[in-house]
Structure 1
Amino acid sequence: MLISSNQAKAIRRKQADENLTSKQASENIGISQFTYRKIRKGAEVRPTVYQKVMEWLAEDY
């Protein structure tokens, strides 16, 4: 599944708002740092990774 540029922007914004390092953000989501770097740019990821990322984004809403 594709992480869109808008979703990538929201991911970067949430990381900044919570003052998280990339390592902390990836640990909170439950993915590797390598995968987190990919999603911050907007990339194709497995459906399981996509679901974890979207759930992490939706936690505060």
Structure 2
Amino acid sequence: MPGAYLRVKCGDCENEQIVFEKAASLVGCAVCGTTLATPTGGKAEIEHEIVETVEAR
């Protein structure tokens, strides 16, 4: 399986954003800029609450 998308909730501003679980670059919140995911070479380190796994379309 190539990877999934996760709905992540920012702990600072409560914004929910969809992030690829194997993100290759730093992912910041679109509202406040807080780091949501940090790349590790495999699955990204998600630094905030994962709300759900979004199904592939």
TM-score by length of 1: 0.24
Higher relative contact order (CA 8 A, sep 6+): 1
Q: Who wins on radius of gyration, i.e. which is larger?
A: 2
More strand by share: 2
More helix by share: 1
